[in-house]
Chain A
Amino acid sequence: MSEAMNIHPGTTAAVAVHHDGHGHHQSFISKYIFSQDHKTISKQFLITGIIWAMIGGLFSVLFRLQLGFPDQSFPILETFFGHWAKGGHIQPEFYYALITMHGTILVFFVLTAGMSGTFANFLIPLQVGARDMASPFLNMLSYWFFFLASIIMLTSLFISTGPAAGGWTIYPPLSALGEASAGSIHGMDYWIISMAMFIVSSLLGGINYITTILNMRTRGMSMTRMPLTMWALLFTAILGVLSFPVLLSGVLLLFFDRNLGTSFYLSDIVVNGQILPNEGGSAILFQHLFWFLGHPEVYIIILPAMGIVSEILSVNSRKPIFGYMAMVGSLFAITILAFLVWAHHMFVTGLNPFLGSVFVLLTLLIAVPSAIKVFNWLTTIWRGNIRFTPATLFSIGFVSLFISGGLTGIFVGNSTIDIHIHDTMFIVAHFHIVMGVAAFFGMFSGLYHWFPKMFGRYMNNTLGYIHFWVTIVGAYLIFWPMHYQGLAGMPRRYLDKSGWASFNQFTELDKMITIVTIIVFAVQLMFVFNFFYSIFKGRKVNKLNPWGATTLEWTTPIRPGHGNWEGEIPEVHRWAYDYGKDGRDFIPQTEKIGENESKH
């Protein structure tokens, strides 16, 4: 049907013909592989991220099998993993490698690189009105450093002693001593080198994003006319640029401790009967360095999702985002506070209680801007005229999850309660809901929404709806009861609770969680299928602006070439949220303010 429409010249569909902005032919390699076009780089990040997400998700299915069915043997696991799954049981070292890589992959490779890499690259030039990033070359390097990091991390999965297995937080001495954990023999070196490449990638990208937003906005695009996605991605990039180098220094010192005999983190250790010479180091120092990145990191993950959700809720409610300046202000407040809360991960490390109290105060302060955001989203949909596209549903799901996970943050951030629930399943439930699943919801929302701009085709809606409903119900079924396990004091990262009198009361629950996990994972595979199938076979887009949005990306051709706009870059005359104003459905940013137009 839509193809038939494409044949008629003179309609908007004619614009769908691909034009290369520079007007010269490019080889396959320079166009699709070493591309400097921000849109292609964004797709490279996205597809690499999807591959990683499938690997990381598969790992969670594997260890959930062990947690849900500790007594049952799965011979197929032994077929695939050999002695790592002897007798069809996930062996302890394999289990710890799986959870470590699951965390590393999803936190860094999917929700940081996959998320920021995809949406910052794709949206920034299109929404601020630029032909490309400030430095397309650095942008390309940014992807290839990420690729290199991916290859190194992937290689570490295949070495004989296994990948890093000390938890994604890689606390030394466990991560420093091969005697203490098999994953620390070689796997940890791969982890550190991969992460160093990853940080280079993230810095190259981040500097580019900041520069582009600050310097390359089109005429009329003042900072306060930018869509909230831009503000969110700007603050995300600032967070990354300021905090990732601290992690780099932290892991380099760890590398020295591992390989050069230094004692930054090591002191007074007897491991496996062997007395080590290291004295005077501090294992806690590493935690400070790690969490100085680690906490901003969770905001690096969630801020882009917040920006995407703000934009999509507004577009699909046909209403302006409520409290634009308050939204920007709260993003700013979160960015500042993100740097001042890291030690709330360390309340029970022997931290000075007074220092702990300061971090309690600063941590709970973050709840204020978070609350402002939630109330503003609620007011945005209030008295709207809401279209439930899959993107909208995922955005609504995001808000629901952000509320649930945000509120449990008030438990965890209060040191008194944290004494009891620190490092229990409560923490697992909390951060999976608030920054794991919620961030994924933001990402899905953005993908369904901007897929037509990315590929000139739509994804299948029915599969999108199934994807949403199974995922939100599944996510709550998996993570909501986990809070109870945590309140019972059940420590996280326990592969078998049968030896314990205090934690063995949840076997039925664990079984249920595992079954739901498998279903939810299968539905994610269906999403991936829908994604790739739709790139090639999806319904074609035949409207320039399918969602009726005000922002600049919808003024480009349906399949924009390198350079984005064929003629001049359009000039901007208003903010991005004139929906439902003066009785009009929406007014694009490029339209001049009318003489009789009311002020907002």
Chain B
Amino acid sequence: MQTFFIIVILALGFLITFQIAKASEYVAILRGEEKSRKQTNKINGFLLLVFLIVGLFGVYYCNETLKGKILGAAASEQGVLIDKMLYITIAITGVVFFATQIALFWFSYKYQESDKRKAYYYPHNNKLEVIWTVIPAIALTVLVGFGLFYWFKITGKAPKNAMVVEVTGKQFGWEFRYPGPDGILGKKYYKYIDPAKNNSLGQIWDDPANHDDVWMEQEMHLVVNKPVQLVIGSKDVIHDVGLVHFRMKMDAVPGTPTTMWFTPKYTTAEMKKITGNPNFVYEISCDQMCGKGHYSMRGTIVVETQAEFDAWMAGKKPQYLVANPDKDPSVAKPDSTKAIASAAINNK
């Protein structure tokens, strides 16, 4: 019923507008087309000026209302660089924006049709063309210069002391793998993927590098002020590891691993204080459309001190032992031959 009323009101509004529009056409003809055209011209010229003034105020108002809801502190060293680049670009483009928009609407208003003035025949001026080729070129050179300086800093080789974490996207969630004490992620092959056998990533158990790798889902832990290199992959379609607080982002592509690295600056606890939000949490968002659950593909990150991280990691069991409980020394089996065999593999 409500919908019906809305449609009726819309239709009525339509009809009234149309009748007014048609009437104004007749009135124009009766009053003399030229005269009414000139009046319309004045009204529109004035409206263009109003649009400029209200628009500039709108830009200010929008910024005042929304600036508190965006960005916040960049939580990684790389994010600080990205924010810097953003502010440099806002400064330069802001000047151009205001200058050109004001010129556009001011000229439109000022040079509206008038009997007192004739249009000025001014077809070209090469000096002006050179000026507005060279000035934008210089401004853009500055932007490209800063941009690439930061870009190579951010995408350059990860430092040697960086910890490595593997991130794998799937419809619709995240999986993580830590390389364990040996610092090496074991080999994997997608055809070995079998969640039922506790092998969600397709790890090759014959590879000893796999034996200490720790696997988990949905939540990742990182160490504050320690560079971390993410090795990123996907099991099905393209996803994207979006880390809004760290300002980092990288696609997760099936079949083609990608990497990115960054250095978290604040622990989760510190961020709670900085943002004044006791429920603050670092989120991983999927930023590449990946299907019907795209909007809900959420992961979280806990950033903590090295000591906290070590304590947390100590409680984790390598996935090798979860998948092969018979190799697990803590689940001691009486069968000694098997234990020896597993030890042999471990020593390989």
Residue on A nearest B195 in the bound complex, by CB: A273
Binary A-proximity of B223-251 (CB < 8 A = 1, otherwise 0): 00000000010011110101011011111
B residues near A272, Cβ cutoff 8 Å? 171, 236
**Bound CA span A367–B89, Å:** 13
Residue on A nearest B141 in the bound complex, by CB: A364
**Given contacts A476-B58, A499-B296, A350 and B256 within 8 Å (CB-CB):** yes
Q: State whether A419 touches B247 (Cβ < 8 A).
A: yes
B348 within 8 A of A: no
Q: State whether A493 touches B295 (Cβ < 8 A).
A: yes
Q: State whether A414 touches B85 (Cβ < 8 A).
A: yes
Q: State whether B152 touches A353 (Cβ < 8 A).
A: yes
Q: Which of B188-221 contact A (CB under 8 A)?
A: 190-191, 193, 195, 202
Residue on A nearest B293 in the bound complex, by CB: A92
**Given contacts A171-B238, A403-B97, A422 and B85 within 8 Å (CB-CB):** no
**Bound CA span A7–B54, Å:** 48
Q: Which of A395-420 contact B (CB under 8 A)?
A: 396, 399-400, 403-404, 407-408, 410-411, 414-417, 419-420
A residues near B238, Cβ cutoff 8 Å? 171, 173-174, 283
A residues near B86, Cβ cutoff 8 Å? 411, 417, 420, 487
Residue on B nearest A269 in the bound complex, by CB: B254
Instruction: For the complex formed, measure the closest distance between the CB of A509 and the CB atoms of chain B, giving whole angstroms.
Output: 7
Q: Which single member of A422, A488, A509, A539 contacts B249 (CB below 8 Å)? A: A422
Binary B-proximity of A147-177 (CB < 8 A = 1, otherwise 0): 0000000000000000001110001111001
Binary B-proximity of A503-543 (CB < 8 A = 1, otherwise 0): 10110010000000000001001100110000000010000
Residue on A nearest B30 in the bound complex, by CB: A1
A135 within 8 A of B: no
Q: State whether B121 touches A580 (Cβ < 8 A).
A: yes
A15 within 8 A of B: no
Instruction: For the complex formed, measure the closest distance between the CB of A281 and the CB atoms of chain B, giving whole angstroms.
Output: 7
A residues near B103, Cβ cutoff 8 Å? 378
**Given contacts A174-B289, A322-B124, A353-B152, A497 and B254 within 8 Å (CB-CB):** no
Binary A-proximity of B132-149 (CB < 8 A = 1, otherwise 0): 110011001001101110
B55 within 8 A of A: yes
A residues near B285, Cβ cutoff 8 Å? 489, 491, 500, 502-503
Q: State whether B289 touches A384 (Cβ < 8 A).
A: no
Q: Which single member of A172, A353, A480 contacts B151 (CB below 8 Å)? A: A353
A591 within 8 A of B: no
Instruction: For the complex formed, measure the closest distance between the CB of A229 and the CB atoms of chain B, giving whole angstroms.
Output: 17
A residues near B3, Cβ cutoff 8 Å? 76
Q: Which of B137-178 contact A (CB under 8 A)?
A: 137, 140, 143-144, 146-148, 150-152, 154-156, 170-171
Q: State whether B119 touches A580 (Cβ < 8 A).
A: yes
**Bound CA span A267–B254, Å:** 6
Candidate in B59, B108, B287 with the most chain A CB atoms within 10 angstroms: B108
**Bound CA span A280–B255, Å:** 7
Residue on A nearest B259 in the bound complex, by CB: A350
**Given contacts A350-B256, A368-B136, A463 and B89 within 8 Å (CB-CB):** no
**Bound CA span A224–B339, Å:** 87
A565 within 8 A of B: no
A336 within 8 A of B: no
Residue on A nearest B27 in the bound complex, by CB: A462
A196 within 8 A of B: no
A residues near B29, Cβ cutoff 8 Å? 1-2
A residues near B193, Cβ cutoff 8 Å? 270, 275
Q: State whether B236 touches A177 (Cβ < 8 A).
A: yes
**Bound CA span A182–B171, Å:** 13
Q: Which single member of B122, B150, B253, B280 contacts A350 (CB below 8 Å)? A: B253
Instruction: For the complex formed, measure the closest distance between the CB of B103 and the CB atoms of chain A, giving whole angstroms.
Output: 5
Which stretch from B109-117, B179-187, B317-325 is at the chain A interface?
B109-117
Which stretch from A298-306, A354-362, A431-439, A446-454 is at the chain B interface?
A354-362
A residues near B104, Cβ cutoff 8 Å? 377-378, 381, 396, 399-400, 403
Q: State whether A92 touches B295 (Cβ < 8 A).
A: yes
Q: State whether B89 touches A410 (Cβ < 8 A).
A: yes
B270 within 8 A of A: no
**Bound CA span A48–B14, Å:** 24
Instruction: For the complex formed, measure the closest distance between the CB of B203 and the CB atoms of chain A, giving whole angstroms.
Output: 13
**Bound CA span A229–B165, Å:** 55
Which stretch from A23-31, A108-116, A119-127, A386-394 is at the chain B interface?
A386-394
**Bound CA span A443–B81, Å:** 41
B51 within 8 A of A: yes
Q: State whether A364 touches B143 (Cβ < 8 A).
A: yes
Which stretch from A202-210, A313-321, A554-562 is at the chain B interface?
A313-321
Q: State whether B123 touches A386 (Cβ < 8 A).
A: no
Q: State whether B255 touches A283 (Cβ < 8 A).
A: yes
**Bound CA span A70–B320, Å:** 44
A residues near B306, Cβ cutoff 8 Å? none
**Given contacts A96-B294, A386-B112, A269 and B235 within 8 Å (CB-CB):** yes
Which stretch from A49-57, A136-144, A234-242, A465-473 is at the chain B interface?
A465-473
**Bound CA span A281–B279, Å:** 43
B residues near A385, Cβ cutoff 8 Å? 111-114, 117-119
Q: State whether B119 touches A318 (Cβ < 8 A).
A: yes
Which stretch from A32-40, A253-261, A323-331 is at the chain B interface?
A323-331
Instruction: For the complex formed, measure the closest distance between the CB of B10 and the CB atoms of chain A, giving whole angstroms.
Output: 6
Q: State whether A400 touches B292 (Cβ < 8 A).
A: no
Binary B-proximity of A245-282 (CB < 8 A = 1, otherwise 0): 00000000000000000000011111111010001111
Q: Which single member of B136, B148, B279 contacts A371 (CB below 8 Å)? A: B136
Instruction: For the complex formed, measure the closest distance between the CB of A129 and the CB atoms of chain B, giving whole angstroms.
Output: 22
B residues near A368, Cβ cutoff 8 Å? 133, 136-137, 140
Instruction: For the complex formed, measure the closest distance between the CB of B73 and the CB atoms of chain A, giving whole angstroms.
Output: 13
B residues near A383, Cβ cutoff 8 Å? 111, 119-120, 122
B residues near A361, Cβ cutoff 8 Å? 144, 148
Q: State whether A283 touches B256 (Cβ < 8 A).
A: yes
Residue on B nearest A385 in the bound complex, by CB: B119
B340 within 8 A of A: no
B residues near A472, Cβ cutoff 8 Å? 51
Binary B-proximity of A188-200 (CB < 8 A = 1, otherwise 0): 0000000000000
B329 within 8 A of A: no
Binary A-proximity of B287-306 (CB < 8 A = 1, otherwise 0): 11111111110100000000
Residue on B nearest A579 in the bound complex, by CB: B119
Complex A-B: 12 CB contacts under 8 Å: A271-B171, A271-B235, A282-B256, A353-B156, A384-B119, A403-B104, A416-B85, A461-B24, A463-B17, A499-B296, A505-B69, A600-B124
Q: Which 4 A-B pairs have the closest CB atoms?
A: A267-B255, A350-B258, A489-B244, A353-B155
Given A180-B290, A465-B44: 9 more A-B contacts, CB < 8 Å: A267-B254, A282-B255, A283-B253, A374-B100, A388-B44, A484-B62, A488-B71, A500-B283, A577-B123
